[in-house]
Structures are given as structure tokens and as C-alpha cells.
Structure 1
């Protein structure tokens, strides 16, 4: 009996360790090439191309004021702009478009991943002297799912979306030690204000963490 209890406890511990295995959110290759992973692109539209689009606003995200990058918020019509949201974004470098991305749902601001500490349109997380990540938060208060989170990595003349899923943060650390811990489902959490992440609420859900480590974004999940 004691041996059985020991084995149950042992495998429970091993399962917990496996569940918290750390991995890279994406991979670097030579010449600034960024390789994404399909498992982190669950909300990405199958057809991300578009013929007509409205440009809402441009943001300068240059590196040290010398390497010129611009983020352009875009939409399929003017209605979303009036609500303060948009359908996606484009990234430009020295006037050349590196990336155009339409989110699965509306992009809003980063309140959902900063626990309302920041209402900027996106967060810039430096990864190295010539690379950075951009975090875009989705439209909040929409049913039992968390808002969308889109992460794009930019390096040299390359840019790529490396994460497109759901995320509502219950822990947030700003740059330079950037990290977020979040859940993907919210249940009836939005019925109360301010949001209350109780122990029982978190215990019922799988937790996720994304953080910066050197020139990489790391990821893990656990129950």
C-alpha cells in the first residue's frame, strides 16, 4: 500500500514537472529569420490577405531613434476605428512593408495583459540591439473566453507573428523584466469589477506564462 501511494505521488510530481516544461515561443535562424510554431497560432486567420484596408494610425517604434520601424493599425471599415479597435496591423521598415496581419477578432489595447495598468495600443519588448517583440491585446468583455493576444517579432528586415491565441493576465511585469501569466478562459469573471483572480478561479484553469529571457520569449503552462 505504501509503495502504491509512493508511486501515485511520484507520478503526480513528474506530471507536474512535465506540465511546466519551458520552451521557446519561436526559433531564430540566420539572417534574422524568425520561425514560428503552429501550436501558438490558434486564432490566426487561414486567409490573412486583403485587397482594401483603412489605415487608422501610425506609431514610430524605431530602435534607438535610428533604425526606422512603423506600426500601422488597420481595419476593414471605419466602424471599428470609431470603437477604438482595429482588425489588424502592418509593420514597416524604412518604408517597406514587412508584415500585414489580420487578427481573429478585434485588436483593442493591452489592458487585458497588463491588468489595466497600461492602455497603450501595444507593448514593445526589446529582445536585442536589433530585434524586439510587439504585444497586441484584444477586445475584452466578450463571453467566457479571454481576449485575443497577438505577438509579432521584428528583427532587421524580417517580421513574423509568433503567437495568436487568447490571454487574460493575472500577473504582469513590465519591461525590462517583461512577463505575463494568464488564463485563456474567464467564465463569469467579468460580472464583477474590478476583476478578482481568486485562488479557486485559478485552480480550475490551466495557467500560462510568457516572458523575456535574453533575445528570446519563453513559454510554459501548468494546471
Structure 2
């Protein structure tokens, strides 16, 4: 029975559309232009997408707020023209883009567990370097890549490499000082529809900016 459950959970990971990506390398000027530095102390945030029907984990992502904000979305499918990507690492994740990302994942079939913990600047720098150097992540290895990176942090050795997002989430919860919240939404499960809506918002913002720039 235990083996069957594990097999079914792995099948969910392999089949979930949120875990599929290809190597991408944004140009230097786009990355530099998008740089976003958040206010407040350095933090690390783990996002886990949980099925509203089975309770199984479907996807993992990691955000690091250090010298700049980096979103490591291994083998993910979210994208936005204002968030340049280098091999699953997104730059320029402003509050609006962060909201777009959350809206994309929290929907009628999945909710998002958000776990945040304050860290030292040294740990933030270590994790930033780790995600930047990890490389493009193969399909269904979102949780494995993140758990591997987290397990290298001093004091976080209890986090074992795992292909299962829920297991990584439970290990992350054991880090002292972790704050957790759950985000629900009743949006359609059609992710293409959500991306189209987000693109429309961006186009409207660009038009408003052009009108202001033209003085009118």
C-alpha cells in the first residue's frame, strides 16, 4: 500500500503541467534592467503547490530575498516578459509580478503553501549562488533540485533530497522561525487563460506609461 501511494504520487509529479521547462538564458542587459531589491531583512521562501483534492504536492519553488530578489522556479511553466529568466531563475520579481506568479498557481485545483524564514546575508548569498549555478532543471525534479540546494545550508542538514514537494515542505517547516500561510483562489485551472490575462494587464500598463511619457 505504501509503495502504491508513493508510485501514484510520483505519477502526479510526472504528469503535472507545472513541472516542465527548457534551458533559457536572458541577456545581461535584461537581467540588469530588471533587478529588484526588496525591503527588509534577507529571507527565504518556499512555495509548495498542493492539490485541493488529494493533498499531494504538485510543484515546488524557492524565492530568495538577498542582495536582489531571485525566484527559482525549477521546471516551471510560468513566465512574464518583465521577468527575465536564466535557467529557471527569474529576476525582477516585483510585488506585482509576485502576485501574478501566485495567481497563476493558486486556482480551483491547487492552493499554495507559503513558508518564509529570515536568514543571514551569508545564507541568502549562498542560496542565490546555488540557484544561479544549478542549471536548467529536468521535468519532475522541481522538489529534488530545491531540497538538494536547501540541504547544503549549515543547520539545514535535516532536509533530505526528495522528489516529493510535500516532503520538502514538511522538512522546511522544521527550520526554526518559519512562518506559514496558505493561499487559495477559485480561478479556472486553465493556466493559458491566466497567462493571457496577465499579459493583458502588462500591455495596459505599458500603454498608460506611454501616454504619460507623451504628456497626455
Q: Give the TM interval when normalised to the shorter protein.
A: under 0.3
Q: Relative contact order (C-alpha < 8 Å, sep 6+): which is higher? A: 2
Task: Mark the structure with the bigger radius of gyration.
Answer: 1
Q: Which has the higher helix share?
A: 2
